[in-house]
Structure 1
């Protein structure tokens, strides 16, 4: 096994031709399938089926056996902010709407090198956590968004790249829709970067722009990412300004539809759940963000029951796909299951599905990735199932949700190429990037007009112990 992976690491799959991979099991939509193999060629799964059958129908390929490993789809992070990686801990202990006091000032302090480095650092963390796709909801750095695209490509991760289309009172001179159309055209045919539009929050754009971006995205088969119904303050501002809640406002002006990827959507009324179901809009359910800085937990089990499209997102909190799936189930159990006596809250498989296939659908890539199936991109993980947490398996999907972690990931593949081997990137120097990021982050944070409500944990402890 070690020699095999060593050989794969040295020579990318795209360069060494078709491969027949035979793990112990493959995670298919219906569950783990033992005795299953895959053929990978030209960055995609060319065949998926019984190992004996594929060995017979591909006699020129030497089977590459992967004992003790599960081959599963890569995780999809349905909501990220790649250029915010320099300030993760700045948000700890802070009240809601920290974007005004922390993220906008920090991103504004980044130049081209620091924005590239921050984005690549976030991509590295995502790969280490088993994410093969991330949806970036746009940034306010002021640098060309292609800097973030380059960071994603260089890291080797698939990226749904948002362009912020805010045109509130301070930016009315921008030809936002022309820029949006250009952004959508710019990445046509790109193998790893997929264009998306973004609006920070509904109140940050005019009604004409909200309608226009919805139309452009729908025509291009892309998404519009908008933070919707995330915090009480935002809901209340919308009620005062429009007489309706943010999601209701989007529906009233004709901007609600399958192209919308509503970030967070934690504060939903029954009517708003119906609007999501009826219009086909998608949601990024971000449970860790809810725990760390939110006002509520999105009713994801209710969304699943209603057939509402949704994926799981980190919101840049931590890049571990298994811990994200665990948080998704745990948050539902605490927020809803305990009160109703629901001891399963999705039965395990729900969270794996929405962390992979459902997430790909939510970010607009369901026809390209998210599932181990012939014709889709070969974005997958090799997970060691011989460790103490997973070896004694009675129900592998449940165990992956509750006991899986990124240390169990042997390798990460995106578009058929190995991008990560035992936590380290292949083809480039990950530790060197981390060292440079530490240098740039120090200068960026010191130079940004960040306002924090809560002191550091050390300062808080000193204050409390001296009272």
Structure 2
């Protein structure tokens, strides 16, 4: 740990400091110090007054927390936002989204869509996100340029996809990207087999072998709908989680996205394997896919993170709003008003997300030595008064509009609600141009 005799790069003085770890703690009259992109000081204002800093920032009325972690999404699909609303999942996917992707997705589409998604996420307090979409190298370039942190999950399907003619092509791209970015300070690479119903046993075996060789994470849509589970039983004689267990895919490196259907046997497999679940409540609600039993999973010891899914099925990348929905939905599903309280909901959107992505040693909580991935939420608004519990006010009364400042690895990427490294007007113009093309106005 760097000695505190040298000046800090930045000393932050918020009204509330919520480290997330230890759980349930809200610190007042405290400060946080940053040097070389890492947190090197957390202590009282009295202690902070004895330190020197190159810059000191008072954050009155602000709650300083770890940056939010969006553990699942398809960033470039932001350009399909609102394209095919109010349709069943199968119809939405097969009759609208897949044809649109076949027609429009290119490197330029992914570049522009990913940049738009990154900007939206930064403005909403997200400092790290997971992306599973085509042309992953292009997405990784966008992440590198923007300053945000991300996991890039290379999509893998049995049939041709944009940028990969075969499953093996996709796997080669993933392995190559993993090697290229192995030492990148803000980007990790995962393998992204799309779902049990789009990847056969032979190819899933390839994923398992390579993931073990590289020690790479795996992200996969699993148990998203009751139909998926029923189809698996009919075709394979077992539920998808049981099939994945048989193939050796379950484990701490697997990120199981959605998981709306959970039997007692499914729960036992998740617990025994230490598999993480990524909950996407608003996408599941909008597509009527089902309800992830978050409280049941949590009480059993399963690590549950939260994700937005893509903006084509959400329709936003608002993780604070997603977390509020998750907290409220968990209570209804569990039949208990005390299920997923505000502090645990914030943990789900921060440290649990980091743990799911294998980044909990780096980010997800405000602890000495971790990266200074931070968000300052402004709780001074009229609608947030009075404040008895700052975390409850954050989760239950606040919107992403209260995000004031964002830092990733100590670099400020949002200041007073304005992006510091991205051109908002250019992003807006680009998104509108794509919308006009896709809507058929300029075919």
Query: TM-score under structure 2 normalisation?
Result: 0.90
Aligned to 1:208: 202
How far apart in 2 are the matches of 1:384 and 1:371? 19
Moved more, 414-423 or 196-205: 414-423
SS of the aligned residue for 1:433 comes to: helix
- Does the 8 A contact of 1:128 with 1:319 survive in 2? no
Aligned to 1:264: 258
The equivalent position to 1:289 in structure 2, one of 283, 288, 291, is 283
Moved more, 166-175 or 395-404: 166-175
RMSD between superposed Cα atoms in Å: 2.3
SS of the aligned residue for 1:302 comes to: helix
In 2 relative to 1, CA 153–302 (structure 1 residues): closer, same or farther, beyond 3 Å? same
**Counterpart mapping for 1:328-339 below 5 A:** 328-337=326-335
Aligned to 2:3: none
- Does the 8 A contact of 1:84 with 1:106 survive in 2? no
Q: Deviations over 1:132-185 (max 9, x none)?
A: 11111233xxxx421111222333321110111223599667355444322221
SS of the aligned residue for 2:243 comes to: helix
Aligned to 1:25: 16
Aligned to 2:427: 433
**Cα offset, 1:61, TM superposition:** 5.0
**Counterpart mapping for 1:59-458 below 5 A:** 59=52, 63-97=56-90, 98-108=92-102, 109-139=104-134, 144-167=135-158, 174-175=168-169, 177-316=171-310, 317=314, 318-337=316-335, 342-446=336-440
In 2 relative to 1, CA 362–431 (structure 1 residues): closer, same or farther, beyond 3 Å? same
Query: TM-score under structure 1 normalisation?
Result: 0.85
How far apart in 1 are the matches of 2:264 and 2:167? 38
SS of the aligned residue for 2:382 comes to: coil
**Cα offset, 1:221, TM superposition:** 4.0
- Does the 8 A contact of 1:69 with 1:383 survive in 2? yes
How far apart in 2 are the matches of 1:448 and 1:367? 48
Moved more, 251-260 or 61-70: 61-70
Aligned to 1:458: none
Q: Deviations over 1:391-443 (max 9, x none)?
A: 41112222211111111111111111111234331133112211111102322
How far apart in 2 are the matches of 1:219 and 1:310? 26
How far apart in 1 are the matches of 2:352 and 2:133? 21
Q: How many residues align?
A: 425
- Does the 8 A contact of 2:167 with 2:203 survive in 1? no
How far apart in 2 are the matches of 1:448 and 1:307? 52
Gaps of 5+ in 2: 1-6
- Does the 8 A contact of 1:55 with 1:63 survive in 2? no
How far apart in 1 are the matches of 2:147 and 2:160? 38
Aligned to 1:456: none
In 2 relative to 1, CA 219–27 (structure 1 residues): closer, same or farther, beyond 3 Å? farther
SS of the aligned residue for 2:359 comes to: coil
How far apart in 1 are the matches of 2:301 and 2:349? 16
Q: Deviations over 1:439-462 (max 9, x none)?
A: 02322353999xxxxxxxxxxxxx
How far apart in 1 are the matches of 2:286 and 2:160? 31
In 2 relative to 1, CA 222–172 (structure 1 residues): closer, same or farther, beyond 3 Å? closer
**Cα offset, 1:257, TM superposition:** 1.0
SS of the aligned residue for 2:142 comes to: helix
How far apart in 1 are the matches of 2:150 and 2:375? 17
In 2 relative to 1, CA 38–274 (structure 1 residues): closer, same or farther, beyond 3 Å? same
Moved more, 276-285 or 148-157: 148-157
How far apart in 2 are the matches of 1:434 and 1:357? 32
Q: Deviations over 1:14-42 (max 9, x none)?
A: xx971121212211223210122111122
- Does the 8 A contact of 1:83 with 1:107 survive in 2? no
SS of the aligned residue for 1:40 comes to: strand
Q: Deviations over 1:275-295 (max 9, x none)?
A: 011101111101101110032
